[in-house]
């Protein structure tokens, strides 16, 4: 059984994926995030199609996991908890893949870094519209020349989901608790 610290973080993660803020995760969140992301990056038709397909695939693989319809917070948390209980190594592997895939799409110029613009567009696309808080979140990574390496961002998110030790800080948890 995952500890309270982990479950609290998983609930924050669930909330962060409720793009349209209606209290549940559904196909509407997928549609809103992928179209906002594509529009804000002003992608041409071919690129937009690829990105939208990548978004859909990510949601299906890591959030819906073969289910259709809505995913409740309880279902989301219990799916994570079941994976964690079944095989911790595989759980970490799955979450690593989840965020590698996610930030690969967010890194639109493929320079293996996330710029402030890429970061802000991603968070706005996911319904986190408060630019001041999003910027503070990005700055918490201590960007060098305005960039944070993909590795550093991905690691912080893996730790957000799999980290068991409440005494360690989490950039992602702190940001969501600040209202991002």
Where on the chain is the footprint of Ca ion (CB under 5 A)? 18, 20, 22, 29, 107, 109, 111, 113
Q: How far apart are CA 31 and CA 19, in angstroms?
A: 9
29 or 162: CB nearest Ca ion: 29
Q: How far apart are CA 86 and CA 174, in angstroms?
A: 28
50 or 109: CB nearest Ca ion: 109
CB of 8 to Ca ion, least distance (A): 20
CB of 89 to Ca ion, least distance (A): 30
3-state secondary structure of 159: helix
Question: Which residues, 6 or more positions from 117, have their beta carbon under 8 angstroms from its beta carbon?
Answer: none
In contact, 154 and 100? CB cutoff 8 Å = yes
CB of 93 to Ca ion, least distance (A): 25
Token pair in block for residue 93: 């592997």
CB of 169 to Ca ion, least distance (A): 25
105 or 166: CB nearest Ca ion: 105
Nearest to 107 by CA among 159, 58, 148: 148
113 or 162: CB nearest Ca ion: 113
CA 45 to chain centroid: 25
């Amino acid at each position: 059984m995952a500890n309270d610290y982990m479950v609290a973080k998983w609930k924050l993660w669930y909330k962060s994926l409720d793009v349209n803020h209606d209290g549940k995760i559904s196909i509407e969140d997928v549609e809103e995030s992928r179209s906002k992301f594509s529009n804000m990056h002003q992608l041409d038709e071919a690129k937009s199609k690829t990105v939208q397909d990548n978004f859909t695939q990510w949601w299906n693989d890591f959030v819906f996991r073969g289910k259709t319809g809505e995913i409740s917070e309880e279902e989301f948390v219990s799916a994570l908890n079941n994976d964690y209980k079944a095989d911790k190594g595989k759980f970490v592997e799955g979450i690593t893949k989840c965020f590698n895939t996610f930030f690969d799409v967010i890194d639109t110029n493929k320079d293996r870094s996330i710029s402030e613009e890429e970061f802000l567009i991603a968070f706005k696309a996911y319904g986190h519209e408060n630019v001041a808080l999003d910027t503070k979140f990005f700055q918490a990574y201590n960007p060098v020349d305005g960039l944070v390496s993909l590795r550093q961002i991905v690691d912080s998110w893996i730790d957000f989901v799999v980290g068991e030790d409440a005494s360690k800080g989490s950039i992602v948890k702190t940001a969501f608790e600040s209202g991002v």
